[in-house]
Amino acid sequence: QVQLVESGGGLVQPGGSLRLSCTVSGNNFSRYTLGWYRQAPGNQRELVASISSISTTTYADSVKGRFTISRDNAKNTVYLQMNSLKPEDTAVYYCNARWIGSSWGRGTQVTVSS
């Protein structure tokens, strides 16, 4: 059973930055496509950014130019650097690892508010 543990969420003012981390258990990290998703109250979970096993990245239009996804295969960790945060970025952020199956973390809360 693959386990994913997110960290790095918190409360930040508009315009601020946060870096989320997600550590994935097991020996197949380099094979995974990794994604960050978010879900705000009353909304569906949406893809924020993903990075493939060969580090091809995709981003939601709403975060392009502000967020950066990256991975460190030596540390079994995927990151989401979030800059110029807006109140509408407030959500629970989830990490996903996909290869043969799909596994999710429990999420970390990000709140952007003054």
Q: In order along the chain (114 residues), what is the average pLDDT of each group of 10 residues? A: 95 98 96 98 97 98 98 98 98 96 96 97
Two structure tokens written together for 55: 């580090």
CB 91 within 8 A of CB 9: no
Q: How far is 101 from 28, CA to CA, in rounded Å?
A: 12
pLDDT of residue 17: 98
pLDDT of residue 105: 97
pLDDT of residue 1: 85
If one counts every other C-beta atom within 10 angstroms of the C-beta of residue 59, the result is 17
Q: How far is 92 from 106, CA to CA, in rounded Å?
A: 9
